[in-house]
Structure 1
Amino acid sequence: MSSTESPHLRAVPVVPPSRPSRVADGEQLRTVTLPGVELTVRSRPPARTGLPPALYVHGLGGSSQNWSALMEALAGTVDGEALDLPGFGDTPPPQDDDYSITGYARVVIRHLDASGRGPVHLVGNSMGGAIATRVAAVRPDLVRTLTLVSPALPELRPQRTALPTGLLAVPGIVSWFAKATRDWSPERRTRELLALTYGDPARVTPEAFALAVEEYERRLELPYFWDVMARSARGIVDAYTLGGQHSLWRQAERVLAPTLLVYGMRDQLVSYRMARRASAAFRDSRLLTLLESGHIAMMEDPGAVARAFRELLADTATTTGRSAPPRG
């Protein structure tokens, strides 16, 4: 049963957030009207004209803000945009009530088709990595290269530390958790989240922690916050159970784009042991393993991810005979 068919999850209101997320210096937010959704897009003007386009797709519970550091690091290499997927960040829930990986992939494809920016260097993290994999498999014409940071691809034996996140998909768990933690302060919620996603939460500066608390407070004000989390988690679980041509691993084998795989050795949500299987599945892949990073390496070590990304683009340009992009 798809995530949109679950009788245990009530319909969520399709309303925009009353308070927008923070925009870092040099960034811009705009709204793109697509069939069934008002999509928020975060961008940073490129350092120079003529740079190739890139698109960043966040994971479960994330937003386009997750890419701010990497977008800044790559401002001299690509013309980057980051999406707020439907129900996350500043984008309201989808009107078609579809929170599946396929549903999110359709939104990404609609945006690329409407914007005419493709083919792009497509970058995804966690759930966004699964979405990006599906996009690259079904629409290879839209993807120049693929970069996946801790992609949420099916694991037969997930880590024990990942099980609580998986339980979000179980009917009733999210509402129970919301009630059980209603007395938690935003600071405590943020610390728990950072402990789960960062390899070393001590690397988060006090300023970054304060901004994370502010964003968590903003999200908790959204009437659809918990429902979207539950439905999207269900969408991931549903994607894990699909077989045949719709299997994410089968689709990974179909990806033609040169692929960079990034895994953190301290990832508590996606095991770094999956790097071997992913390297075998993606036919033209490179692997970056970061010893100190957890689940969101693009936030923890954006410099290392940016260097590997530039190497991917340089290798791809050499292979295809195109001139290499600038290394700024």
Structure 2
Amino acid sequence: MRARRAQDVPIGPPPLADPATLPHLDPHQAPWPGGEVTSGGVTLHVRETPGPQDTPAVYVHGLSGSATNWTDLAALLSTRAAGTAVDLPGFGHSRPLASRDYSPAGHADALLCFLAGRGRPVHLLGNSFGGAVALAVAARRPELVRTLTLVSPAMPDLRPHPHRVSDPKLLLALLPLIGKRARAELAAMDPRTRAEQVVRLCFGDPTLVPEHRMAEAAAEYAARARLAWAQEAAERTGKAMVAGWLRGESLWSVAARVQAPTLVVWGERDRLVAPRLARRTAAALRRSRLLVLPGVGHVAQIEAPQTVARAVAGMWDAVGAGTWEEPG
């Protein structure tokens, strides 16, 4: 099926679940318990949320993120699905694979094997780089993905984005050759400064981040700094992603092969992946809805968890009822 053109096809908003059907969000919710799990020959560190086991949810973080990026959203969706938030190989507390393959395809292979080993379809959710990985898994193994949620997925984009200059060091660090100095400077930062810098770049309004969440992020950066493989994983993953864009590898053709009902979520203040790609991304997918959130940046599941949860739950409910139809 030919990818839909964004300018030609009406893309409807998702149905939103009644907020009364979602649990109350504890603003001080602690990260879910974690541990290593081996499935399909792949060992990942995961954080698991209890809930109904019919169709579980699997959450995939972005670059320099971890399973804790999904703490609040997994809590809000826990009455509808048990959750497994994974640390991709080399991230969070997951050890790298023996192959040390940090390419997007390598991460997708690892996640695909992990899901296949569990032997049943899941609701798959991914943010940023994790969205690109989830997209590839859904295209390659449609029987494993019941629904797909993409939060600001890292779609290829080499055009200038003016807001990216607000913190160029983080962006320069992704470039394969010229980013060496920026990567060294990032590695030398203390954990609190690094957390504050990431928040400034990723959040639409950084002032809304509560102090306890900032402290959690700083503690996580400090813990990762003690892992021998952490810097290698972040650098090589970022460089491999950008190198793929430079070589012309395209997720747009991958998106056209996805069969699962898909929710695309984007923040209007996203400084990392341009909001102009939101409509094009939704149009490239066969069975999509698009939710664009004003005032929100790159990590909508953290910045606006209640709204994202209503949209995700609304999709799950509609798919279960057979009412999720292709717009237009």
Shift of residue 267, structure 1, vs aligned partner: 0.6
Deviation string, structure 1 residues 246-275 (Cα, Å, up to 9, x no partner)? 631001011111100000011100111101
Matched residue SS, 2:93? coil
Alignment length (residue pairs) = 293
- Given the alignment, which residue of 156, 161, 182 partners 1:177? 182
**What CA distance in whole angstroms lies between the structure 1 residues aligned with 2:123 and 2:36?**
21
1:90 matched to which residue of 2? 93
Shift of residue 280, structure 1, vs aligned partner: 1.1
Instruction: Work out whether residues 175 and 242 of structure 2, in 8 Å CA contact, stay in contact via their aligned partners in 1.
Output: no
**What CA distance in whole angstroms lies between the structure 2 residues aligned with 1:52 and 1:125?**
20
- Given the alignment, which residue of 124, 127, 130 partners 2:129? 127
Cα gap change, 1:293 to 1:38, in 2 (>3 Å): same
- Given the alignment, which residue of 295, 304, 321 partners 1:301? 304
What is the correspondence of 1:73-84 to structure 2 with a 5 Å cutoff?
Answer: 73-84=76-87
Matched residue SS, 1:208? helix
1:167 matched to which residue of 2? 172
Cα gap change, 1:308 to 1:178, in 2 (>3 Å): same
User: How high is the TM-score relative to the length of structure 1?
Assistant: 0.83
What is the correspondence of 1:83-232 to structure 2 with a 5 Å cutoff?
Answer: 83-116=86-119, 118-162=120-164, 164=168, 165-171=170-176, 175-180=180-185, 184-232=189-237
**What CA distance in whole angstroms lies between the structure 2 residues aligned with 1:120 and 1:171?**
34
Cα gap change, 1:227 to 1:182, in 2 (>3 Å): closer
User: How high is the TM-score relative to the length of structure 2?
Assistant: 0.83
Matched residue SS, 2:322? helix
Farther-moved stretch of structure 1 (107-116 vs 53-62): 107-116
1:5 matched to which residue of 2? none
1:278 matched to 2:281? The reply is yes
**What CA distance in whole angstroms lies between the structure 2 residues aligned with 1:174 and 1:97?**
21
**What CA distance in whole angstroms lies between the structure 2 residues aligned with 1:53 and 1:182?**
36
Farther-moved stretch of structure 1 (89-98 vs 174-183): 174-183
Instruction: Work out whether residues 100 and 238 of structure 1, in 8 Å CA contact, stay in contact via their aligned partners in 2.
Output: no
RMSD, aligned α-carbons: 2.2
- Given the alignment, which residue of 59, 66, 73 partners 1:63? 66
Q: Which amino acid in the other structure matches residue 128 of structure 1?
A: G
Instruction: Work out whether residues 269 and 296 of structure 2, in 8 Å CA contact, stay in contact via their aligned partners in 1.
Output: yes
Instruction: Work out whether residues 258 and 285 of structure 1, in 8 Å CA contact, stay in contact via their aligned partners in 2.
Output: yes
Instruction: Work out whether residues 279 and 290 of structure 2, in 8 Å CA contact, stay in contact via their aligned partners in 1.
Output: no
Cα gap change, 1:211 to 1:173, in 2 (>3 Å): farther
Shift of residue 168, structure 1, vs aligned partner: 2.3
**What CA distance in whole angstroms lies between the structure 1 residues aligned with 2:258 and 2:36?**
30
Q: Which amino acid in the other structure matches residue 216 of structure 1?
A: Y
2:8 matched to which residue of 1? none
Cα gap change, 1:231 to 1:319, in 2 (>3 Å): same
Structure of higher RCO (CA pairs closer than 8 Å, 6+ residues apart):
2
Matched residue SS, 1:75? coil
1:288 matched to which residue of 2? 291
2:12 matched to which residue of 1? none
Instruction: Work out whether residues 173 and 179 of structure 2, in 8 Å CA contact, stay in contact via their aligned partners in 1.
Output: yes
Matched residue SS, 2:256? helix
Shift of residue 78, structure 1, vs aligned partner: 1.1
**What CA distance in whole angstroms lies between the structure 2 residues aligned with 1:95 and 1:198?**
34
Gaps of 5+ in 2: 1-28
2:57 matched to which residue of 1? 54
**What CA distance in whole angstroms lies between the structure 2 residues aligned with 1:51 and 1:207?**
34
Shift of residue 188, structure 1, vs aligned partner: 1.8
Shift of residue 51, structure 1, vs aligned partner: 3.9
Shift of residue 65, structure 1, vs aligned partner: 0.5
**What CA distance in whole angstroms lies between the structure 1 residues aligned with 2:297 and 2:245?**
22
Percent identity at matched positions? 43
